[in-house]
Amino acid sequence: MAQVNINIRMDETVKKQAEELFNELGLNMTTAFNMFVRQALNRGGIPFEVVRKDAFYSPYNQEKLRESIASTDKTVKSLDALEKLAQ
C-alpha cells in the first residue's frame, strides 16, 4: 500500500497544543490524524458530535440541565423535610 503526504493548514498555537496532547498520549500528529480518519471511515462520519460553540440549547445540554434541576429539587425537598423534623 502506497503512502502519501498530506499538508494541513492549522493555527500554530493549536498545532503546538495538539502536539503536546498527542505526545502525552504517546502519539504524534501523523498517528493521531490517521486514527481520526480510520474512525471516521469505521463510523461513516465524523467520530464525535459536532456542535456550535454556544450549545446551551443543545439536546445534550438541556438534558444535563434537567438532571441537575431534578437533583436540586430532591436536595431541597430533603432539606425541607429535615428542617420540619428539627422544629
| Interatomic CA distance for residues 45 and 40, integer angstroms | 5
Shared domain for 33 and 67, answered yes or no, is: no
Q: Kindly report the pTM of this predicted structure.
A: 0.57
Q: How many domains does the chain have?
A: 2
Sign of the C-alpha dihedral, residues 52, 57, 63, 66? Answer: positive
Mean pLDDT score, 8-14: 94
Pair 43, 6 in one domain: yes
Question: Is the domain of 3 the same as that of 21?
Answer: yes
DSSP state of 26: T
Alpha carbon 4 to its chain centroid, in Å, reads: 30
Per-residue model confidence as pLDDT tens digits over 34-86: 999 999 999 999 998 876 666 677 788 888 888 888 887 676 666 676 677 67
In this prediction, residues 15-44 reach a mean pLDDT of: 96
Structural domain containing residue 57? 49-87
